[in-house]
């Protein structure tokens, strides 16, 4: 155990997040997402829901400020404009972590799958709620 880190900051997650560079994307997905067949690298956070996994990631890196859309959410197939509760919770976590509003851009299920295949890593959670799938683009950590 280490001070100031979440129990979700596993060695594998820490290595993955530290290895990512500016502009790299990570997909955080629910338990139904076919991660093994759609991931270059897969990190499992069994037992964690999407909100907890998202919070653990955003404690360690900022979102990209050089692009208009650094966060994406998978749209529902039959109701693309309707935002599921799990994504509303994630939106609050993102805004709080960034200290500003950073609206997640909705993308189709097919587009999400394609982005996940290209992502640096796919982080698999135990999220049970449908459409618990988001993508984040890592930003620059500036010196203090």
Q: State the catalytic residues.
A: 22, 64, 113
Cβ distance 35 to 124 under 8 Å? Answer: yes
Contact 140, 67 (CB under 8 A): no
Q: How far is CA 82 from CA 27, 78, 92, in A?
A: 21, 9, 16
> CB–CB of 33/112 below 8 Å?
no
As beta bridge partners, residue 25 has 137
* DSSP E strand stretches across 52-130: 71-74, 105-107, 121-124
d(CA 30, CA 76): 14
């Amino acid at each position: 155990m280490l001070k100031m880190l979440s129990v979700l900051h596993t060695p594998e997650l820490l290595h993955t997040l530290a290895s990512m560079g500016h502009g790299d994307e990570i997909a955080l997905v629910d338990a139904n997402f076919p991660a093994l067949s759609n991931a270059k690298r897969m990190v499992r956070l069994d037992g964690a829901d999407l909100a907890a996994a998202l919070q653990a990631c955003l404690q360690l890196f900022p979102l990209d400020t050089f692009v208009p859309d650094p966060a994406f959410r998978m749209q529902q197939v039959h109701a693309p404009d309707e935002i599921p509760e799990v994504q509303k919770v994630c939106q609050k976590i993102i805004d709080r972590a960034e200290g500003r509003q950073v609206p997640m851009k909705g993308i189709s299920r097919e587009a999400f799958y394609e982005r996940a295949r290209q992502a640096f890593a796919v982080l698999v959670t135990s999220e049970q709620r449908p459409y618990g799938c988001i993508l984040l683009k890592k930003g620059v950590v500036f010196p203090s």
